[in-house]
Structure 1
C-alpha cells in the first residue's frame, strides 16, 4: 500500500507534465505564433500588387491591372483597423496599418491610368460609396452604441462583408481568363499569399472565438485556389 501511495503522486505529476507539454505548444501556436505570422503575411499580401502597379506606372497604362480589388483593399483595411481598435486586438491592428498606406498609394498611382469611362465611374462608385458608408457606420457605432460588444459586432460585420468582396473581386476576371487562356489578369503572388495568410487567421480566429476573424478568412482560404 505504501509503495502504491508513493507511486500515485509521481504518476499524477508525470501526467500533469505530459498534459502541459501537449497543451502549451498548440496554445502558443494558435494564439501568438499564428497571428504574428499572419501580420507578416498580411503585409506581404498588400505588397503583392506592387509589381503590377509599378509596371502600369512605367507604361502609363493599366496593362491588364484590375483596379477594383485595390479599392476594396483600401476599404477592407480601414474597416478592419476600426474593428481591431474597437475590440481591441493588436494583431488585427498591426495587420492593416501598412495596408491602408499601400492601398492609398496604389489608388493614387492607378486612378489617372483608368481611361475607360465606365470603368472609371465604377471605380469611383466603389471608392466614394464604400468610404461614405464606412465613415457613417464607424461614426454611428462609436457615438450611439454604448456596449463594446455591439460596436465590435457592427464594425466586424461590415469589415467582413468588404473583405469577402475583396477576396472575390479577382473572380470577375475568370471569364477573360477562360476566353484568352491567360491568367495574367489575376495576381499570382496575391493568391499564394492569400491562401497562407487566411489559413493562419482562420486558425487564430477559431482559437480565440472571434467569428469576424474566422469567417472572412475561411472564405478567402477556399477562394484562393479558385483564383490561382
Structure 2
C-alpha cells in the first residue's frame, strides 16, 4: 500500500512538477540565441517557425487546463504563452530590419549608378571650361599662373564636395521613402497572426457559443494535440536542407534536448492519469525529438554565428587623380578626367574636404 502511495505521488505530483520546470526550460531555450541575434541585428540560421507554433500550442493547452481544471498543465504552458509573444516580436523585428537593409542597398546602388552617369557629363564640362580658362590665363598673364591654378583647384574640390553632399542627401531620402513604403509584413507576423486567429475562433466557438456542448474537453484536446505535433516536428521541415547541406544548423539542439526530457515526464504523468490527450502527443514528440537528435549526430552543425551574416560590406575604390600631360612641370594642374575620387557600393557617406590657403595640390 505504501509502495502504491509512492508511485502515485511520483507519477501524479513529482513528474508533472518537474515537467512544469522542464517545459519552461523548453520554451526559454531560444532566449539566449534571440538576445544575441537582436544585439547583432540578424537572425542568422535561427529557425523561427516553431515560435509561432509555440504560441498556439501554449494557448491550446491553457484552454485544455481550464476545461479539465488541471493546475499542472496550466503552470507548464502559461509562461510559454507569454514568452512566445516576445520571441515572435523579436523575430519580426529582425526580419523587418533585413528588408530595410536589402531595400536600402538596392536603392543606393541604383541612385549611385544614375549619379555616376551625371557626374561624367558634369566633370567633363568643368574640365573643358577649366582648360579654356587656363589657356587664356597663360597667354594674358604668365606671372599669375600659380594663383590661377590654385583657384581652379579650389573650385574643383569645392564643386566635388557640394556634389557629394547633395547626392548623399538625395540618396538617403529616396532609400528611406522606398523602404518605408515597401514594408508591409514579415513571414513571422503572418504565421503568428494566423495561429492566433485560428485559436481565437476555436475558443470562441467551443467555449462561448457552446458549439458541441459537452465535448469541449475532447475537441480542445484533439486540436491542441495536432498543434503540439507541429510544434515538436517544426524543425523537421528543414530536413531537406540538412540532407543537402550535410549540416544541422537549422535544428536548434538545446530545444530538441529539452523537448525529449520534457516528453518523458509528461508521458509518465499522462499514463498515471490515464489521459491519452497528454501521453499520446508527448509520445509522438519523444519520437520526433529522438529523430532530430539523430540528425544532429549524423550531420553535425558547422560553427557559425549570426554575426557572420550582418557584416556590413563597405567597399571603397580609390581612383587615380590624373594630371595634364601637356602642362609644364612647374604648372601641372589637377584634373578629374571623368573619374570619381571615391566610390562606395553599399553605404552613403558625406565627405568633408577643406583646402586652406597655404595648401598646394601638385
TM-score in same-fold range (> 0.5)? yes
Residue 179 in structure 1 maps to residue 244 in structure 2: yes
Structure 1 or 2: more helix by fraction: 1
Distance in 1 (alpha carbons) for counterparts of 2:55 and 2:17: 22
Q: What root-mean-square deviation, in Å, do the aligned CA atoms of Structure 1 and Structure 2 show?
A: 1.9
1:35 matched to 2:100? The reply is: no
CA–CA separation in structure 2 for the residues paired with 1:51 and 1:124: 21
Structure 2: distance between partners of 1:26 and 1:149: 32
- Classify the secondary structure of the residue corresponding to 2:24: helix
Q: Is the contact between residue 202 and residue 213 of structure 1 (CA under 8 Å) also seen in structure 2?
A: yes
2:61 aligned with 1:80: yes
How far does residue 181 in structure 1 lie from its aligned partner after superposition?
A: 2.5
Aligned partner (choices 14, 23, 30) of residue 49 of structure 1: 30
**TM alignment of 1:140-179, pairs within 5 A:** 140-145=205-210, 150-179=215-244
| Alignment: residue pair count | 207
TM-score by length of 2: 0.54
Compared CA separation, residues 146 and 121, structure 1 to 2 (3 A) = closer
Distance 2:15 2:77 in 1: 16
1:101 maps to: 82
1:63 Cα deviation from its structure 2 partner: 1.0
Structure 2 regions of 5+ residues with no counterpart?
100-181, 294-362
CA distance in 2, matches of 1:72, 1:126: 8
Q: Tell me the equivalent position of 2:283.
A: 218
Q: Gaps spanning 5+ residues in structure 1: where?
A: 1-19
Q: After TM superposition, give the deviation of residue 147 of structure 1 in Å.
A: 8.2
2:93 to 103, 106, 112: 112
**Residue pair 1:74, 1:100 contacting (<8 A) in 2 also:** yes
* Larger Rg belongs to: 2
Judging changes above 3 Å, is the alpha-carbon distance between structure 1 residues 51 and 184 closer, same or farther for their aligned structure 2 residues?
farther
Answer whether contact 1:69 1:166 (CA < 8 A) is retained: yes
Query: 1:76, 1:189 → 2: CA distance?
Result: 19
Q: Is the 8 A contact 2:88 2:188 kept in 1?
A: no
Query: Given the alignment, which residue of 62, 70, 74 partners 2:43?
Result: 62
SS in structure 2 opposite 1:202?
A: helix
> Within 5 Å, which residues of 2 pair with 1:128-143?
128-143=193-208
Secondary structure of the structure 1 residue equivalent to 2:251: coil
Q: Distance in 2 between matches of 1:46 and 1:148?
A: 32
